[in-house]
Copies of this chain bind each other. A is one copy, B any other.
């Protein structure tokens, strides 16, 4: 598994110690990231991920030191070095080394090659339980590196056999810690449109659902979520994952919903043919 990583125009083995300790990402949490994977060896929807990454960088006022084309070449090199059939890429852009630990001078760009996370095929059929958690991400449009609540709650999730947190604030739900959420009320597909990360899988699912369902992008209350017929979450690693319980509350009949599984099938069809 000779995974490598790109850092500021050089390629290093994945376990190399690279970062000096006055990096603003490390000292001040001033960083953003993105994450996507290949299907059939081809980065999935790279154009979308790149645009999101550019948008996050613009909002944090960080200049990306590589062009899109240079980045694609780096991805091809890292993929070839890995020798794997599929990989995931993690981009991390930080405020860089700051002598005064406040002002950005030159951002640091890291691109890690990672093995695919263990899929959860049983979860995709059975569905997952999530815990309600009163919180809304600060600057939600930015894919920042702030995941303190998720890690702080990791033990609690484990002990309650929950897979994730459902963020809600002032009665309105937004997203899970790293993925978007949808509900079905009958054949109407509903998903929040604000205080969320602009998920690429979310966008793909909305495209796939368009011809089959009525779609509403609008605010969703926690109560409406709990009373939904079906619920699911989307991300590049979860695909279309049914949510069957929120804490002690079952969603629908507590099993993966049929509309959800239909969308899951469409998504799996799309990615299995990606790049072919």
Contacts and interface: CB of A to CB of B under 8 A. Distances in A.
A17 interface: yes
Contacts of A112: 21-22
A21 B139 CA distance: 24
A151 B104 contact: yes
Interface in A11-44: 14-31, 33
Interface in A60-113: 60-61, 90, 92, 94-95, 100, 102-104, 110, 112
B21 A26 contact: no
B151 A30 contact: yes
Nearest to A22: B112
Interface stretch (A142-150, A238-246, A249-257): A142-150
Contacts of A152: 60-61
A25 B145 CA distance: 9
Contacts of A25: 26
Given A102-B154, A146-B148, A150-B102, A20 B30 contact: no
Indicate the member of A23, A138, A149 with the most B CB atoms within 10 Å. Answer: A138
A255 to B, nearest CB: 27
A42 B168 CA distance: 47
A18 B16 contact: no
Nearest to A97: B15
Given A18-B21, A138-B148, A148-B138, A26 B154 contact: no
Contacts of A24: 151
A117 interface: yes
B21 A110 contact: yes
Contact of A19 (B5, B21, B28): B21
A214 interface: no
Contacts of A154: 102-104
A5 B20 CA distance: 11
Contacts of A268: none
5 contacts: A5-B21, A15-B20, A27-B33, A28-B147, A104-B151
